[in-house]
Structure 1
Amino acid sequence: MGASGSDTLLIHPNDPATALALLTRLPVKARFERSAQAAWAYPLAGAVLAGLASLPMLAALWLDLPDLIAAVIFVAAMVILSGAMHEDGLADTADGLWGGWDKARRLEIMKDSHIGAYGVIALCLSLALRCLAVATLLSAEWAALYLISAAMLSRAAMPLVMTALPHARADGLSHAQGRVPRKTALAGLTVAAAIAFLMINWVAMPLAGLCFVCAALCAATARVKIGGQTGDILGATQQVSEISLLIALIALMG
């Protein structure tokens, strides 16, 4: 089937590879004619990342290393495997949205490769909260399944923002992927919630609701500040969602 025919499908077998190529540094051969339509598979990329990152974490626990060290290893592996793209987006978003006084200046700051005080603070808080949250969750049985669920659902938040907002600029990674259809974004959240339900049962349902809330809040902030979304906004959305989901898991499992 040609590219024009595949664009009419909600789900295509090539989509998971496209998502992995876009969101990870894994050596995956992919096709990009369905970049926007493949967004439903972003949670699958998150599952692969968290599954791989769990391996050295579990090895650290098997060696009887402290939970906090194992948690740092997990977060570090996630950063390495993803190429820190979401962390970079968070830092640029923090610098731009709170360092500029109007849309043009905010977008200019976000495009600058240099990092400012807001970006450094956001990164430090993100890494600290994730490491502490993961360390706390490691006391639970089958903790890796909770981490995989959070990784999937946080990446399901990105297509929701992509379908809710127009592009804030006429270039960049997000613009290159195209506008995500609403049914694709909802399919991504459904896939993430369904797989999470199979792994962690009822806990997946409030987490899916929280994922939607995080996406809505990030989208509302981006709309007010820059009138749309960029790749940096999407990265920040993933980070905010993942931190919120990890903290929610601690509250639910406590």
Structure 2
Amino acid sequence: MNDMRSTGFAKPDLDPVDIAAAFTLLTRIPLPVNHARAGERAAQAAWAYPLVGAVLGLVAGLIAISLHWIGVSTGIASASGLGVLMLMTGALHEDGIADCADGFGGGTTPARRLEIMKDSRIGAFGAATLIVVLLARWSGYGTVIEGNWLAAFVAVGAISRLPMVLVMYAMPLARPDGFAATVGMVTAPTVLVAAALALVLSLLCLGLLAIPLMLVTLLVCLPLCWLAWRRIGGYSGDVLGGCQQIAEIAALAVLSAVL
């Protein structure tokens, strides 16, 4: 166990710059931030991932539900919400799950899989997976929009970012020179703060439904984590993005069942 994890139960190291650092890492939203300082605190800033997700969900939900209120069809409102979300994030997580599908489905060795995942081109596995993922999210958004449940967008955004933090703590890096490696190691206090933040935000939005919703979103990411461990020996930035997408779909599926 490395030094950073061995001291993982120390006092949480929180800094206001972490919020801006998290937004800079996970979105394309231009914020005034000391990039050098934000880069130094990239790992510590992971506690703010659920907050970033909540803000993204709020913006996407406001636009989608507002369009529905003025008479735009549910399908177009859902697509608009998705489009705004991808515009804000630069389709970072969508790219991740597509790369995972291409790498895990097309490579025969860990090195080859990582090479495929690093390639900016998309293959058949990635394209097919991306279509299914977007359709699932589009459908789930439609159900939430029809229920005029803006708080659900906020909760889904927050909860779906938590698995990324847990994976960064629990799994080894698959590529020492990849994007995820530049973030650094996440400590236990950072994970605990992120989990508490995600839980509080989702409880405020959904009440006690937030508890089973969080459990489901964490459990559904386990198969991808297991596959990543077996196929490439750990996690990469693409695996983190894949976990977020899977968690979001699972959360939307639960909410759709409830609605």
> Shorter-chain-normalised TM-score: which range?
over 0.9
Q: Does structure 2 retain, via aligned residues, the 8 Å contact 1:161–1:229?
A: yes
Instruction: Tell me what 1:52 maps to.
Output: 59
CA–CA separation in structure 2 for the residues paired with 1:83 and 1:97: 23
Q: Is the 8 A contact 1:157 1:237 kept in 2?
A: yes
Q: Does 1:71 align with 2:95?
A: no
Match of 1:35 in 2: 42
**What runs of 5+ residues in structure 2 fail to find an aligned partner?**
1-9
CA distance in 2, matches of 1:224, 1:101: 12
Shift of 1:155: 0.6
Residue 24 (str. 1) matches residue 32 (str. 2): no
Which residue type is aligned with residue 25 of structure 2? L
* Residues 39 and 188, structure 1, Cα contact 8 Å, conserved in 2: yes
Percent identity, aligned pairs only, is 39
Greater RCO (CA < 8 Å, at least 6 residues apart): 2
1:203 aligned residue: 209
Correspondence for 1:100 among 87, 100, 107: 107
Aligned counterpart, 1:114: 121
TM-score by length of 1: 0.92
Q: Is the 8 A contact 2:20 2:31 kept in 1?
A: yes
Counterpart contact for 2:158–2:198, Cα < 8 Å: yes
- Is residue 161–residue 218 contact of structure 1 (8 Å, CA) maintained in 2? no
Counterpart Cα distance in 1 of 2:93 and 2:192: 21
Q: What CA distance in whole angstroms lies between the structure 1 residues aligned with 2:95 and 2:80?
A: 19
Shift in Å, 1:250: 1.2
Structure 1 residues 1-254: aligned runs within 5 Å: 9-30=12-33, 31-141=38-148, 143-251=149-257, 253-254=258-259
Question: What is the RMSD computed on CA atoms of the aligned residues?
Answer: 1.5
Does the CA-based 8 Å contact 1:158-1:215 persist in structure 2?
Answer: no
Give the AA of the match of 1:149.
A
**Quick check: 2:97–2:238 contact (8 Å CA) kept in 1?**
yes
Distance 1:231 1:92 in 2: 10
Residue 194 of structure 2 aligns to a residue whose secondary structure is helix
1:172-218, CA deviations, whole angstroms, 9 ceiling, x for partnerless residues? Answer: 21000011112312321221111110111011010111122134333
2:71 & 2:56 partners in 1: Cα distance?
23
Give the residue type in structure 1 aligned to 2:142.
A
Figure out how many residues of one structure are paired with residues of the other and give that number: 246
TM-score by length of 2: 0.91
Encode CA deviations 1:37-63: one digit per residue, 9 max, x unaligned. Answer: 110100111111111222321331121
SS at match of 1:52: helix
Structure 1 portions without partners, runs of 5+: 1-6
Note the C-alpha offset of 1:244: 0.8
Are the aligned partners of 2:65 and 2:145 in contact in 1 as well (CA < 8 Å)? no
Q: Structure 1 residue runs of 4+, over 4 Å off?
A: none
